[in-house]
Amino acid sequence: MTHYHLLGRTGLRVSPLALGTMTFGAPDWGSDEDTSRAIFQRYLEWGGNFVDSAVNYAGGASEELLGKFLAETGSRERIVLATKFTGAVDATDPNGWGNGRKNILRSLDTSLRRLGTDYIDLYWLHFWDTYTPVEEIVSTLDTLVRAGKVRAVGFSDVPAWYAAKAHTLAVSRGLEPVNALQMEYSLVERNIEREHVPAMRDMGMGLIPWSPLGGGFLTGKYTRAEDGRLSGDGRFTRFEHFRRQRHGDQKWAILDQLVKVAGEVGCTPAQAALNWVANRPTVTSTIIGASTRKQLDDNLGALDFDVPHDELTELSKPEPHHPYNLYDRSVWPQLPFIPDLDIRSQP
């Protein structure tokens, strides 16, 4: 693995596969310290340089373990270290979570201490708290970049209008722009193609997908139980939060097609699913998750194959809806007031 991608309109170079550490130290469905260490070391051996965590992952254990592994391997400077604020640092305190200035600063101090470093390469807003004015967020993040505590800024799990507002405001005021969005994206979750992907292309942001395997569904290791739940061994059967999830007919049809394509190519379904995500337009780096070293080995091989994507892309296409159906000629071919001309952007 020798190639890197630039993150949005920054000079930051990141591997096409990022290592997710949500599982590090997570009880029940995650990995213990030894397994997490083996996963981290294997990712470094592969040549990866982009690692993702969050202040709230495994109640702080993810950042603590990561800090330990960075120190043990002496890899801090080589790693593009990403973590997130928003999730609760103190759930009993109304200002102990969210995107207000008070919590961002507290959260950053907590993350820096756990990670054993004095700067974060990519600092993510984890999710929209629905309260904090965007002006407060972009000005706080800008001060952190100017103070050298943060190198670049990204937003995760936000509406596209909110990301566009933050980015536009930052650019117009000469503040640090939003250079990346971290969103759920996989063959079984393509809703961001309606608003977020066009917005990111317009604003020059990079897309960093999470749950590219749909949490493990796209590995093919689950079968359909009679009550609509998943049957098999994995997080969907081991953890109540995930156990509640149901998968409809379309998702099972996509999985069937994925297994077929993977068989034809000679790779695993997980590799074919990751290959599809990593090769979608605007995708800068795909965050892979693994709870064992063996899973990681499998996933790190995902870019070694040419996987035919056309049928998978067609089968998993999101239903067009208003107003996007107006622009989709396959849905609404002949509107007399929109001429059918071939107009192209400058390359």
Ligand X SMILES: NC(=O)c1ccc[n+]([C@@H]2O[C@H](COP(=O)([O-])OP(=O)(O)OC[C@H]3O[C@@H](n4cnc5c(N)ncnc54)[C@H](OP(=O)(O)O)[C@@H]3O)[C@@H](O)[C@H]2O)c1
Which positions lie near ligand X, rule CB under 6 A? 20-23, 29, 52, 126, 156-157, 182, 210-216, 219, 221, 234-235, 270, 287-291, 295, 298-299
Q: Which is nearer to ligand X, 206 or 216 (CB)?
A: 216
Contact indicator for 271, 302 with CB cutoff of 8 Å: yes
Q: How far is the CB of 52 from ligand X (least distance, A)?
A: 4
Question: Considering beta carbons, is residue 52 or 64 the nearer one to ligand X?
Answer: 52
Burial class (CB in 10 A: 0-12, 13-18, 19+), 309: middle
Backbone φ, ψ for residue 57 (5° rounding): -65, 130
* Closest distance to ligand X from the beta carbon of 55 (Å): 12
Question: Apex CA 210: angle with CA 209 and CA 211, to 5°?
Answer: 125
Catalytic residue among 4, 43, 57, 327: 57
Q: How far is the CB of 287 from ligand X (least distance, A)?
A: 4
Show the DSSP H helices in the chain as ranges: 33-46, 61-73, 101-115, 134-146, 160-172, 196-203, 235-238, 240-243, 249-265, 269-278, 293-300, 310-315
The minimum distance between CB 25 and ligand X, in angstroms, equals 12
Render 277-331 in DSSP notation, one character per residue: HHTSTTB--EEE--SSHHHHHHHHTGGGS----HHHHHHTPPPP-TTGGGT-TTT
Between CA 260 and CA 269 the distance in angstroms is 8
Q: Which letter does DSSP use for residue 113 in this model?
A: H
The smaller minimum CB distance to ligand X, of residues 132 and 285, is found at 285
**Smaller CB distance to ligand X: residue 52 or 142?**
52
Catalytic residue status for 324 = no
Of 100 and 216, nearer to ligand X (C-beta) is 216
What is the nearest approach in angstroms of ligand X to the Cβ of residue 261? Answer: 16
Closest CA to 272 of 304, 234, 224, 297: 304
Measured CA to CA, the distance from residue 134 to residue 170 in angstroms comes to 10
Q: Which is nearer to ligand X, 117 or 242 (CB)?
A: 242
- Of 186 and 257, which has the nearer Cβ to ligand X? 186
**Pairing mode, strands 180-184 and 206-210:** parallel
Nearest distance in Å: CB 323, ligand X: 27
Which tokens hold the place of 120?
Answer: 């974060």
Question: Residue 97 corresponds to which amino acid?
Answer: W
Lookup result for tokens 């009679």: 226
Helix, strand or coil for residue 147?
Answer: coil
Task: Point out the residues that are catalytic.
Answer: 57
